[in-house]
Amino acid sequence: MAIDAFLTNARLADGRLVDIGIADGRIATLGDNEAASLPNSVPILNIGGDLALPGLVDGHLHLDKTLMGLPWMPHAAGPSRMSRIETDKKILPHLPVSTEERAGNLIRECVTRGTAHLRTHVDIDRESRLAKLDGVLAAREKHHGQVSMQIVAFPQSGVMRCPGVLDLLDAAVRGGADLVGGIDPLEIDRDPKGQLDGIFAIAERHGVGLDIHLHEPGEMGLFNVQEICARTHALGLGGKVTISHGFCLGQVTERQAGAAAELMATAGVALVTHGAGGLTLPPVAMLRAAGVLVFAGNDDIRDTWSPYGTGDLLERAAIIGWKGDFRRDDEVDTAFDLVSAAGARALGIVDYGIAVGASATLFTIPASGVPEAVAAHPPRKLVLFNGKIVARNGVVLPAPIPIA
């Protein structure tokens, strides 16, 4: 096979120093001194012993809400979820920068930090209808050579309390959204059957998955976990349904959480977490041990919901590890798995990882191994997407370029 380029002296997570041969955007060879055996004409980039890790996967973002790229704005939302929903509606339509542009600003921040795949929720409501979806779709198109994106049609303001939103969600899926969203069927809608039946019907109709925001506490949340698992099982949607947050799983008794984990594992319902401030972290280790696919994302990054965040998934893994008291190296490895391989499985990304045959989608970082990369999260030096350089030393290139 004709090798297009080599990354030499790359450290793998297991500590080995290897040369990575790239052909047609894929990892074609991986081994000791591979580059030395090939003609001098093949371009070589010496990584100098830095760690090479697979492109990161952000499983939960809100690209349409970010204020990235705008001058700093004082945080205006109140303490409740409803006040934040209302603040969004007051601020976002009047910003001087479009949804497409703001989403693009945040995508590029993520790309410079090694994110290769992401799932963003996009607000669908009666006021903005599909406008935010159109903006994020345009941003996706513009950045398709740098990152892969899934879009969830997200009923931020509710479904049953806002007549017409179910039709808008259906239209959003027809218009390019990849999954249907949902939100707190009891707390926001006070009609769990109505909302869940409605959104699962859309998913079934169009053959797409679901990703449902579930902030509801304790047994209220647990009730909806059970309802979501029951519908997933009944409709054969296992592997295509995610619960976002699921704070309730960290608030109920161990026995209740264990039973919920078993239900989720059997139904094929995944969980995405971000280690939210001020709220409980779901029991990540217990859920994984029970067979639940748990992955992670950044959620709100510098927006009307939260002033914090940069898009750095290694920093996010560190926050989750800190919050979950993950201290040993194997526990920090778990935090990394949430923002890499586990996320890739959840998003259905094939050919993932640093392995022969996988896509050459990776980044390099000056760290001895995964635990140090997570704990210290130093800047990424080189970011490749499908074998091409998309960012270098914290700067996104205007267009992807081959290694030369």
Integer-rounded Cα radius of gyration of the chain: 21
Asked if 380 and 365 count as a contact pair (C-beta separation under 8 A), the reply is yes
- What whole-number distance in Å separates Cα of residue 132 and Cα of residue 63? 9
Residue among 121, 119, 104 nearest 297 (CA) = 119
Q: Which is nearer to Zn ion, 182 or 371 (CB)?
A: 182
Q: How far apart are CA 267 and CA 212, in angstroms?
A: 15
Give the SS3 label for residue 221: helix
Report, in Å, the least distance between residue 239 CB and Zn ion.
Answer: 21
Sequence-ordered strand ranges (E) for 2-94: 5-11, 17-23, 26-31, 44-46, 51-54, 56-61
Site stretch for Zn ion (CB under 5 A), options 51-59, 67-75, 277-285, 291-299: 291-299
Q: How far is the CB of 87 from Zn ion (least distance, A)?
A: 15
How many residues bind Zn ion (CB under 5 A)? The answer is 1
Smallest gap from residue 299 Cβ to Zn ion (A): 5
Q: Site residues for Zn ion, window 18-57 (CB under 5 A)?
A: none
Residue whose beta carbon is closest to Zn ion? 299
In the complex, minimum distance from the CB of residue 156 to Zn ion, in angstroms, rounded to a whole number:
9
Residue range at the interface with Zn ion (CB under 5 A); choices 99-107, 224-232, 292-300, 392-400:
292-300
Check residue 7 and give left, alpha or beta (phi > 0: left; psi -120 to 50: alpha). beta
Choose between 128 and 361: whose C-beta lies nearer to Zn ion. 128
Give the separation between CA 157 and CA 189, rounded to whole angstroms: 9
**How many angstroms separate the CA atoms of 354 and 223, rounded?**
40
Q: Which is nearer to Zn ion, 227 or 299 (CB)?
A: 299
What phi and psi, each to the nearest 5 degrees, are found at residue 280?
-70, 145
Closer residue to Zn ion in complex, CB, 65/143: 65
Options 87-95, 214-222, 298-306, 382-390: segment touching Zn ion (CB under 5 A) = 298-306
Q: What's the min distance (Å) between Cβ of 321 and Zn ion?
A: 20
Min CB(213)–Zn ion separation in Å: 6
Question: Closest CB to Zn ion among 187 and 299?
Answer: 299
Among the listed ranges 35-43, 167-175, 293-301, 351-359, the one in contact with Zn ion (CB under 5 A) is 293-301
Chain residues in the site for Zn ion (CB under 5 A): 299
